[in-house]
Amino acid sequence: MSTVDELAPIVVHDSARASRRERLRLVLRSKTFLVGAAIGAFWVFCALFGPAVVPENPYADDILNKLQPPSAEHWFGTDRLGRDVFSRVIVGARDILIVAPLATLVGTVLGTALGLVTGYFRGLADDVIMRVVDAFLAIPVVVIGLLALTVVGPSRVAVILVIGIVFTPIIARTVRAAVLSERELEYVEAARLRNEHTPYVLFGEILPNVLGPVLVEFTVRLGYAIFAIATLSFLGFGIQPPAPDWGLQIFENYGLLSAGDWWPTLFPALAIATLVVGVNLIADGLTQAFER
Amino acid sequence: MGRFILRRVALALVTLWLLSVIVFVACEVMPGDVARSILGPTAAPETVAALNERLGTNDPVLARYGDWIAGIPRGDLGESYAFRRPVDEMIGPALWNSAKLAFLAFLLVVPLGILGGVTAALYEGRALDRAISVGGLSASAIPEFVWAVTVILVFGIWLDVLPVSAQAPPGASFLTQVEYLILPALCLVFVLFGYLARMARAGTAEALDSDYTRTAVLKGLPRRTVIRRHVLRNSLLPTIAVVATQTGYLIGGLVAIELIFNYPGIGRLLVRAADQKDFPLLQGTVLVIGVVYLLATLAADLAYAYLNPRIRYGRAFS
């Protein structure tokens, strides 16, 4: 009997590690994940080293050479102030890749905490909080972001907090659903019988077991965060000039499309498209691996 | 079923009330002086004080909430600061315009999404399935304004086959109006297709996997009949009911699209209100958008409940 007691935790530990390894193998074998990861890695590289490798200063005006079409000198042409579009697109990765992951992180941390508490305690607090969540969900993310940024004024920190808070109820809902099934399992009962403190049961016992869904939710939300932040920047309520943010570049230049000056709009548009598609392929690869 | 409807409507009303509180509170925390921000820094202090008095911005917060909420059942949402017109008179036509655009988008995306999803399910796991699923997912990940500038460039300028503004000249025929709306609607189609196709694919895959389909196959029915009479009939009705829940994404998408195509809908109105810091208009617009979404999801839930016998005959729901 005693040998079994000593062996049991080791066996459980091993199988947990094996299933984690199996999952990792599935993720690394998924073509969508690998393609997405390659695209993501490219933009992360641009965000980290872009300012050091671009041919021109992305902020430098050169009004005499404004709106030059793509050429050997300016690969992506120049914009209405004569700035080099190629340099601005490469350096522009930095803003979105700082703001979007931080916003998603804020939403994931707050949402996970909220989801753990509401899912674990159920009852009145759960009902009330879920009603408020429903009310928040009735307003599209872009619309509520626009409202909030009009009130507090646009800045990077404001965008991070607003998007983070808007995502909180959405993530809370996913985590809550996962907690609802976890709380009925024996290990939670066991922790409760050992008289563990509730915060320990929540964050020490249940949280590690719902980290899979939380990770998947984080990557899915990251895609939406890039979507929403780029849109807010495009509407003029996100990242402010003269930053080389992609949404902002499109906002500044799309009026020139009908005059035939397509390059200052099309290249940032392609940058956004590749980044969101990359993140979504990563999310898709992870989802498939975790749902098996 | 009766209890389900009652409960669902009651919950929608509670959500609506909470929504009004959220919208009101969000606009009330605006720092600074309303009349000052309307009149600008050069206005005389007496003029500013008088305008604040007229707008009622000095009243206690609860009184202002009471005034605002009491007007809503009468359709009175206050007066726009920037345009000096009743908010409801501005929202009405804008909402109608947006509805036309949204309707055209749904008209295009529903058949396409269902066709895509059913095809993917019939070829589950094969290259065509992956192409539709991953392609649709990727298309819906790209923001509407990126699609908008792309389709403007390709169809409006390079190929020069469609107008790049969404607003037809006054007195244009119905078909001309539709022609002007095709490009903006197309952007919504790109964003919504992936989700719809995924729903249709999941529903069809489930039906294909079911016992009744196996029975139909085993009793020797032709594949075509099995798919049409057994699979699609069971998989598509719920999918169609789920379409309405996409209204939220759709309205969110309208904001950027209406701005780019210069279309006088609810989205462009919202951006204008935000640009001008026109809080009565902003509050009213966001509230109306929330109400439209709540009504659409309520309709979707009821339709789904009606189509789903497990709910229709009173099983538990949450």
Q: What is the pLDDT of residues A39-57, one digit of tens each?
A: 999 999 989 988 878 878 8
Is residue B315 over pLDDT 60? no
The 10s digit of each residue's pLDDT in A265-274 is: 889 999 999 9
Give me chain A's average pLDDT, please: 84
The predicted structure's pLDDT at residue B68: 82
Inter-chain contact A231–B164, Cβ cutoff 8 Å?
no
Q: Which residues in chain A have Cβ-Cβ distances shorter than 8 Å to B249? A: 140
Query: pLDDT category, B316, cuts 50, 70, 90?
Result: very low
Interface membership of A259 toward B (CB under 8 Å): no
Q: Which residues in chain A have Cβ-Cβ distances shorter than 8 Å to B149? A: 250, 254, 257, 265-266, 269
Interface membership of A277 toward B (CB under 8 Å): yes
Is residue B229 over pLDDT 70? yes
Residue A141 CA to residue B145 CA, distance in Å, equals 15
What 3 state SS string does chain B have?
CHHHHHHHHHHHHHHHHHHHHHHHHHHHCCCCCHHHHHHCCCCCHHHHHHHHHHHCCCCCHHHHHHHHHHHHHHCCCCECCCCCCEHHHHHHHHHHHHHHHHHHHHHHHHHHHHHHHHHHHHCCCCHHHHHHHHHHHHHHHCCHHHHHHHHHHHHHHHCCCCCCCCCCCCCCCHHHHHHHHHHHHHHHHHHHHHHHHHHHHHHHHHHHCCHHHHHHHHCCCCHHHHHHHHHHHHHHHHHHHHHHHHHHHHHHHHHHHHHHCCCCCHHHHHHHHHHCCCHHHHHHHHHHHHHHHHHHHHHHHHHHHHHCHHHHCCCCCC
Contact A112, A177 (CB under 8 A): no
Beta-carbon neighbour count of residue A26 at 10 Å? 16
CB within 8 Å of B139: residues ≥ 6 apart: B190, B191, B193, B194
Measured in angstroms, the CA of A279 and the nearest CA of chain B are apart by 9
Query: pLDDT category, A4, cuts 50, 70, 90?
Result: very low
Q: Which of the residue ranges A22-31, A76-85, A220-229 has the most confident prediction, judged by mean pLDDT?
A: A220-229
Inter-chain contact A147–B144, Cβ cutoff 8 Å?
no
The predicted structure's pLDDT at residue A44: 93
> Which residue of B150, B249, B282 is in closest CB contact with A147?
B282
> Which residue of A137, A235, A269 is in closest CB contact with B256?
A235
Q: What residue type is assigned to position A275 of the chain? A: L
> Which residue of A132, A150, A262 is in closest CB contact with B153?
A262
Inter-chain contact B157–A234, Cβ cutoff 8 Å?
no
Q: What percent of chain B has pLDDT over 70?
A: 93
Inter-chain contact A272–B137, Cβ cutoff 8 Å?
no
Contact B140, B226 (CB under 8 A): no
Q: H or E stretch including A221?
A: helix A207-234
Q: What percent of chain B has pLDDT over 90?
A: 11
> Which pair of structure tokens corresponds to residue A285?
């690869």
The 10s digit of each residue's pLDDT in B48-93 is: 888 777 777 777 778 888 888 888 888 788 888 778 888 888 999 9
> Which residue of B145, B256, B290 is in closest CB contact with A139?
B290
Q: Which of A 198-227 lie inside 8 A of B, CB atoms?
A: 223, 227
The predicted structure's pLDDT at residue A109: 95
Closest CA to B298 of B245, B236, B251, B243: B245
Q: Which residue has the tokens 């022609």?
A: B179
Q: What residue type is assigned to position B232 of the chain? A: L
